[in-house]
Amino acid sequence: MTGHDPFQGRRDFLRASGVLGLASALPGTLRAADTAVGDAPSDDAGTASGAPLPPRAPLARQPFRRLPTGAIRPAGWLRRQLEIQAAGLGGHLDETWADVGPDSGWLGGSGESWERGPYFLDGLLPLAWQLDSAPLKAKAQRFIDWTLENPWPSGMFGPRSNDDWWPRMVMLKVLTQYHELTGDARVIGLMTNYFAYQLGELPKRPLRDWGRSRWQDELLSVLWLYDRTGDPRLLQLAALLRRQGFDWQGMFADFPFKQKVDVAALEAKGGDDVFMKDLGQRVHGVNIAMALKSSPVWSLVSGRVQDREAVHHQLKMLDAYHGLPNGMFSADEHLAGRNPSQGTELCTVVETMFSLEVALAITGAPALADRLETIAYNALPGAFTDDMWAHQYDQEPNQVESSLHRRPWTSNGPEANLFGLEPHFGCCTANFHQGWPKLTGSLWMATADGGVAAMVYAPCTVRTKVQGVPLRIEQSTDYPFRSRVDIVLHPARAVAFELKLRIPGWATGSTLAVNGQAQPTARAGHFVTLHREWRPGDTIALSFESAPKAVPGFNDSVSVRDGALVFALPIAESWIKWRQRGLTADWLVYPASRWSMGLPENATFRRVEQPVGPVPFSRRHPPVTLSVEGRLVASWKAEEGAADPVPRRPQADASDPPQLLTLLPYAAPKLRITAFPLLAPGSDEHPRDGHVS
């Protein structure tokens, strides 16, 4: 930071905005900016406080605020998961993949200069600080320093070889996190300059393609800066982004895409209809995942309830026409209907998670946390090998083979569901890193009334400040593998504040005790709020009740859930290394056991628990299993490496006796059946006496 003039940025901003001569007419603005810049390096901006800034008027109040990056550290199984990520591609990608290596354009090199560097940083940065890893912090710092030290004279930043708005939207998200972690005042200057430049440029060179589809991700950063500087030009930029950006809320209001996208229509790229004209953008899974936050984030500017709530309708439409049993929607890489043999791109998984984390804070809707947990504890780990050295581009709920086949994707290539370095395309290789770290950063939030709230459950430590008093929270749990959460509060001194605890929507009951004293709890899908004076060492014990259940889906199929976990039938796996890829490899996986099993109506499940192992989501030591009796459906086949659509109400194979199936958490097996055919009535009357008809 030495040699940097933090006020240069504001002067440039005012000059670029054409208001330098009017500066004396804007005393309020200048005072706000001066204060923000002057305070930036203090502890309040970083993890020492861990308290979020209040929203600045006229932005709408929101029920919860995400804590500053770094305020929440992983513990227990979650820490082991992040350590696995760091020991795998998460911490070593730059050593084996040139696109984020030393020649990256985001390090001043002539290599990849678009979205991949920023995508990588968006997860590497919080991961490095959450694990307090000096080597990872140093890796991230190089990209940050190059970015901060090499702005263009115009106010633009990033590699000179392209001027696309889109990759900069990702880097802005990175810079906001970096500022929350370090208070580095260079961030405020660079962002101020850039937004001033963009406000002048966008009318001449409007958003297009990815930037037009993903405008809301920049809006987040614009509002972040507005909270810090209060410059009214930022609200003008917000309105301009909304005006030039695609109207996702409008598209979903009368949702036109109710079936698997036809690749021929994608390639035609024609039509005058507002949606068909740019069809590839409109039905693109990652765009739609990012867009789930668009209306809630815009509602902070508009103040409109219908904007804030529009996310629920978007999810409803996706569930109805493209929903899959792992909590996601099909996107391989365009919307692909509800057949569980369709895939979902890993970028779509992590971007849906981030959108839900943002939308959860703005709407306060516990249902979004339920959804977030379903995706985080099933679809996210499901796409990786146990060591996180290989991932899939597309994962399938009914995944019976990972091999080189074109079927069934809407537009992806034959590598799309291999496990590897960059199967099909490298976007997910660069972008997966944000999944676990941003989930970690969203476990607890600040409430609008100055308290704290447990939003999503996993083991962690929180350092924040309530009513001006430093507060440490220790949360220990094996959730989602168990249903008990233990919390110990360590305020620096006794202090009164509200503490909210989410009761998951699936809970059939819950119990709550504070310092051993039973407390009333809340209905499922609501928050229970505890108002009291909290003292150092106060304890909270929270338990949820749930029972395994069959959830109906595509073609009358059923999938099995218990709490936040989806369960799947593991298929024996034969792994074949296809090719070495630097420090890692690409793998094919072939089935080595029968998988075409159906479940009877009124199936009963037996739950067995084992300790959570060193790899939380591993089939070698699953923390929990469910056993259930199933029957072979011999008519259900695979073709070209993909299971045929689940047959509707098939007869069981009469010659095959019922067998006890042991289901594992969805993510544990890499070949699996998640959506089972529901057997036709009478299928359970197996002729045990040997009379086979």
Interacting residues with Zn ion (CB under 5 A): 345, 347, 427-428
Q: Assess contact for 323 and 338: CB atoms under 8 A.
A: yes
50: Cβ contacts below 8 Å, ≥ 6 apart? 67, 68, 70, 71, 462, 463, 464, 465
Decide the pairing of beta strands 517-519 and 539-545: unpaired
CB of 669 to Zn ion, least distance (A): 23
- CB pairs under 8 A, 24+ apart, for 157-163? 157/190, 157/193, 157/194, 158/105, 158/106, 158/113, 159/105, 159/106, 159/108, 159/113, 161/105, 161/110, 161/113, 162/113, 162/114, 163/205
Nearer to Zn ion, 350 or 499 (CB): 350
Nearer to Zn ion, 347 or 565 (CB): 347
CB of 350 to Zn ion, least distance (A): 9
Assign 622 to helix, strand or coil: coil
Nearer to Zn ion, 408 or 459 (CB): 408
Nearer to Zn ion, 345 or 653 (CB): 345
Name the residue with tokens 């996601």.
328
Nearer to Zn ion, 288 or 347 (CB): 347
CA distance 397 to 394: 10
CA distance 317 to 165: 29
State which H helix or E strand residue 382 sits in: helix 380-382
Closest residue to Zn ion using C-beta atoms: 347
AA identity, residue 384: F
CA distance 668 to 623: 10
CB of 98 to Zn ion, least distance (A): 18
Nearer to Zn ion, 351 or 478 (CB): 351
Nearer to Zn ion, 70 or 117 (CB): 117
CA distance 177 to 453: 21
Nearer to Zn ion, 119 or 215 (CB): 119
CB of 346 to Zn ion, least distance (A): 6
Number of residues in the chain: 693
Nearer to Zn ion, 289 or 358 (CB): 289
The end-to-end CA distance of the chain, in Å, is 82
Nearer to Zn ion, 427 or 542 (CB): 427
Nearer to Zn ion, 393 or 527 (CB): 393
Q: Assess contact for 667 and 377: CB atoms under 8 A.
A: yes
AA identity, residue 452: V
CB of 239 to Zn ion, least distance (A): 30
CB of 395 to Zn ion, least distance (A): 12
CB of 405 to Zn ion, least distance (A): 19
CB of 171 to Zn ion, least distance (A): 17
CB of 210 to Zn ion, least distance (A): 12
CB of 421 to Zn ion, least distance (A): 13
CB of 331 to Zn ion, least distance (A): 10
Nearer to Zn ion, 83 or 115 (CB): 115
Nearer to Zn ion, 382 or 622 (CB): 382
CB of 285 to Zn ion, least distance (A): 9
Per-residue DSSP letter, 482: S
Question: Helices in 398-536 by DSSP H: which ranges?
Answer: 427-431, 435-440
Q: How many other CB atoms are there within 10 angstroms of residue 44's CB atom?
A: 15
β-bridge mates for residue 498, sequence order? 531
Name the residue with tokens 């037009």.
212
CB of 176 to Zn ion, least distance (A): 22
Tokens of 533: 């004076």
Nearer to Zn ion, 427 or 466 (CB): 427
Environment class of 258 (CB within 10 Å of its CB; exposed 0-12, middle 13-18, buried 19+): exposed
Could you check whether the bond before residue 58 is cis, i.e. omega within 30 degrees of 0? yes
Q: In what order do the strands lie in the sheet with 444-447?
A: 64-66, 444-447, 452-454, 495-503, 526-534
Decide the pairing of beta strands 509-514 and 469-477: unpaired
Q: For residue 69, which phi and psi values (nearest 5 degrees)?
A: -50, 135
State which H helix or E strand residue 659 sits in: strand 659-665
CB of 122 to Zn ion, least distance (A): 13
Q: For residue 504, which phi and psi values (nearest 5 degrees)?
A: -60, 150
